[in-house]
A and B are shown apart, each in its own frame.
Chain A
Amino acid sequence: MGGNQTPLAYDYTVARLFLYATILFGIIGMTIGVFIAFQMAFPELNYLFGEYGTFSRLRPIHTNGVAFGFTVSGIFATWYYVGQRVLKVSMAESPFLMVVGKLHFAVYILTILLAVVTLFAGITTSKEYAELEWPLDLLVVVFWVLWGVSIFGLIGIRRERTLYISIWYYIATFLAVAMLFLFNNMAVPTALVSGHGDWYHSVSWYAGTNDALVQWWYGHNAVAFVFTTPIVAMIYYFLPKESGQAVYSYKLSLLSFWGLMFVYLWAGGHHLIYSTVPDWMQTMGSVFSIVLILPSWGSAINMLLTMKGEWNQLQSNPLIKFMVLGSTFYMLSTLEGPIQAIKSVNALAHFTDWIPGHVHDGTLGWVGFMIIASMYHMTPRLFKRELYSKSLMETQFWLQTIGIVLYFSSMWIAGITQGMMWRATDEFGNLSYSFIDTVVVLHPYYTVRAIGGLLYLTGIFIWAYNIYKTITDGRKLEDKELNVNRSPMSAN
């Protein structure tokens, strides 16, 4: 680097691309989610789009859309932002990393678009969150490796010697997802072996109980390493930055990291309680799920204490609202999960609506809120414009919060009702209810849940609109107005 050119600045080209993707896939994934929620309450909605519009075709598109579209784009967007900043190195300094970043984005977008098309066509392996067939799996491997190159490449040319805790979490995400994904998707393409049939069809390496074990080892830890660790990476950066308060205890954040790394992977067995996997594994899954409360709450409490002495910001800054409520939801769902993993509770809760209820306080409350807040925080810096409207953010916050509360409260009631009715017997020991009785009774709860989802989705549209208006109409900012912690936002 010579002496007298323009001063070095962070280069957010790739971060901007992933920000657009986050918003796009958020809208697609959640719109489908709300639609299928309404289908559960009003089954006539299954017939709007022929065979492509049934609940069962759409559900994998919803889950893949929000997990691998919305969330993973959010993770990448924040990586290409936070990574540079805490390592104090600009992507502009490395043309190589710039190319890798853009290629990463291109392959990623291609993969997700193909995923949507193939899932609509009913091409799926059926394994939850691993539905994509092998050709797409290979593309996933490609963009994942590119992301790895980008992470370690940027670390390789860093100025700051110490890796900030967020970087630890990004590294863990990268490694663990790579391992889980590879093992769970091992399959044999049938056309290669037999010379017949669809070229993209494959059959799993594992059968029956083994397949279930590998799948839930993956499935649970996809939750760990897509919905937890990268989101923790986000909050460890964005909450301190936005509030101007360094993380409450850096030591605690390091300890929780190792705790989480060790404990999380054991907990997958709790998806298989009372199934045909060996008892000791079920017990292990149960016990470790309880232990998991410790590192999870370690991180969550650390985040809340970061706000110590600055709680007034909760009132004045909507971004702080999102993040603080996000960590509260994190605490809720990391307590609720272990409770559901207790064997006797699991006997009641498993296979009921309480489980999607639990998933959604984590995903809507924690993952969703953190990504929303992170994108809001990044937008002024990425586009050098003031956030368009604070009051819209407030409206969004309250709509979405009410939405989440409607969602999980209705699903708690639905799940427990359903579980109790399945096992209820009359005085002679005969089952009291036929299955359909337990379906019909859920109609009101399904309706409330769908409305909750609709409120949340409305918030997502407000978010997209607010960011769009920021980019096009927001007041232009000078560099020095950007060298602040609190995100610049317009009061109206």
Chain B
Amino acid sequence: MFHWLEERPFFFAVGVFTVVSFAGLIEILPNFAEASRPTVGTKPYSTLELAGRHVYIADSCNACHSQLIRPFKSETDRYGMYSLSGEYAYDRPFLWGSKRAGPDLHRVGAYRTTDWHENHMWEPVSVVPGSIMPAYKHMFSNQADIETAYAEAVTVNKVFNVPYNTNITMRDGSTANVKLPATYDEAKADVLAEAKIIASGMKNQDVKDAVERGEIPQIVALIAYLNSLK
């Protein structure tokens, strides 16, 4: 019987495939529905935040930063409450990272501010001497891609039922509602309004002027995203 298999490449391949796929079937599939349920207080990303997330991804911040606080006292002391599965319900892709050259960022929005990020992204060593994080000055002049972020929000809303335009109960009992307008032009107006709030907390005159003109520099979107991590 065994030798029969060894001589028949096709059936041999089927055998290998069965053995190899077994783990995936058992380990991954059955847990899917459960792991994707959001925790209370988790809301979808706004279009501006998504654009910021894209900046984070394009520059692979996840190569040096994790977004996963493990349940140890040393981590909760440093970074805050440990991470829960449902908090990631709208993270496509997940950004847990695999290496902490820099600190975890899962709750960085809870203890860093817009102007702190502004200074730090411009020149990390000016804020934290000895830092090995690169400066990301190009983000102050490059434009964020709002249209692609909008496209993604529309897509996850349509395909995965991510609850935009829906009332969501927050942890403190209030409700939040993340807007996703039906047309891109309306969405752009919303994004600009949100960007203006961020820009008002910044000092870089070029960035402020750009936002006044209706542009969205990458740094504004990135900070909106970092502020949303709580």
Contact surface of A with B, Cβ cutoff 8 Å = 39-40, 43, 46-47, 50-51, 54-57, 59-60, 122-128, 152, 155-156, 161-163, 168, 171-172, 175-176, 179, 183, 188, 190-191, 193-198, 201, 203-204, 206-215, 217, 258, 261-262, 265-266, 268-269, 271, 274-278, 281, 284, 347, 350-353, 355-356, 422-425, 430-431, 435-436, 439-440
B172 within 8 A of partner (CB): no
Q: Which of A206, A355, A356 has a CB less than 8 Å from the CB of B92?
A: A206
- Please, which residues of chain A bring their CB within 8 A of the CB of B12? 163, 168, 171
Judged by a CB distance under 8 angstroms, whether B1 is at the interface is no
Instruction: Tell me, in angstroms, the Cα distance from A425 to B74 when the chains sit together.
Output: 8
Contact, CB under 8 Å: B27 / A197:
no
Contact with A along B137-159 (1 / 0, CB 8 A): 01000100101111110111011
Chain B nearest Cβ from A123, distance in angstroms: 7
Given A190-B155, A440-B130, check contact A208 B94 (CB 8 Å): yes
Among listed B97-105, B206-214, B221-229, interface-contacting one: B97-105
Closest to A267 in B: B23
The proximity string for B residues 9-31 relative to A, scoring 1 for CB distances below 8 Å and 0 otherwise, is 10011001101111110011001
**B167 touches A (CB below 8 Å):** no
Q: Indicate if B164 sits at the interface (CB-CB under 8 A).
A: no
Interface of B is mostly: helix
Interface range on chain B (Cβ under 8 Å from partner): 35 or more
Given B7, B16, B58, B61, which contacts A161 in the complex, CB threshold below 8 Å?
B7
Which of B19, B60, B151, B158 makes the CB contact (< 8 A) with A56?
B60
Residues of chain B within 8 A of A210, CB atoms compared:
28, 31-32, 35-36
**B28 x A56 contact (CB < 8 A):** no
**B85–A209 touching, CB < 8 Å:** yes
Does the CB pair A209–B20 fall under 8 Å? no
The interface residues of chain B lying within 8 Å CB-to-CB of A422 are 74-75, 78
| CB-based contact A55/B63 at 8 Å | yes
Residue numbers in B under 8 Å from A40 (CB-CB): 101, 132
CA of A363 to CA of B209 in the docked complex: distance in angstroms?
49
B83 proximal to A (CB < 8 A) = yes
Nearest CB in chain A to that of B71: its residue:
A274
CB–CB A163/B9 < 8 A:
yes
When the two chains form their complex, are residues A197 and B93 in contact, meaning their CB atoms are under 8 A apart?
no
Across the interface, which residues of A come within 8 angstroms of B102, CB to CB?
A: 435, 439
Interface residues of chain A: helix, strand, loop or mixed (majority): helix
Give every chain B residue within 8 A of A268 (Cβ-Cβ).
23, 27
Within 8 A of A (CB), among B100-139: 100-103, 125, 128-136, 138
> Which residues of chain B come closer than 8 Å to A183, judged between CB atoms?
24
- Among residues 143 to 202 in chain B, which have CB atoms less than 8 Å away from a CB atom of chain A? 145, 147-152, 154-156, 158-160, 184
Nearest chain B CB to A261's CB is how many angstroms away?
5
In the docked arrangement, what's the CA distance between A218 and B21, Å?
12
Among B59, B90, B94, B149, the residue within 8 A (CB) of A54 is: B59
* Nearest 5 pairs of A and B residues by beta carbon: A208-B88, A197-B148, A197-B151, A122-B58, A265-B23
User: In the complex, what's the smallest C-beta–C-beta distance from B95 to chain A, in angstroms?
Assistant: 6
Given the complex, which residues of A lie within 8 Å of B75, measured CB to CB?
422
Given that A43-B133, A213-B28 are contacting pairs, would A190 and B66 also be in contact in the complex, using a CB cutoff of 8 Å? no
A43 B57 Cβ-Cβ under 8 A: no
In the complex formed, the residue of B with least CB distance to A261 is B19
Q: Say yes or no: B100 contacts A208, CB within 8 Å.
A: no
- Report whether A351 and B98 are in contact in the complex, using a CB–CB cutoff of 8 Å: yes
* B230 on interface, CB distance cutoff 8 Å: no
Nearest CB of A to B219, in Å: 13
Q: Which residues of B contact A197 (CB under 8 A)?
A: 145, 147-152
6 A-B contacts, Cβ less than 8 Å apart? A56-B63, A172-B16, A217-B27, A265-B20, A276-B35, A431-B78
- B residues in contact with A190, CB < 8 Å: 148, 151-152, 154-155
Assuming the contacts A60-B63, A275-B68, asked whether A46 and B89 have C-beta atoms less than 8 A apart, the reply is: no
> For the complex, is B4 an interface residue (Cβ under 8 Å from A)?
no
Within 8 Å by CB of B17, from A123, A179, A208, lies A179
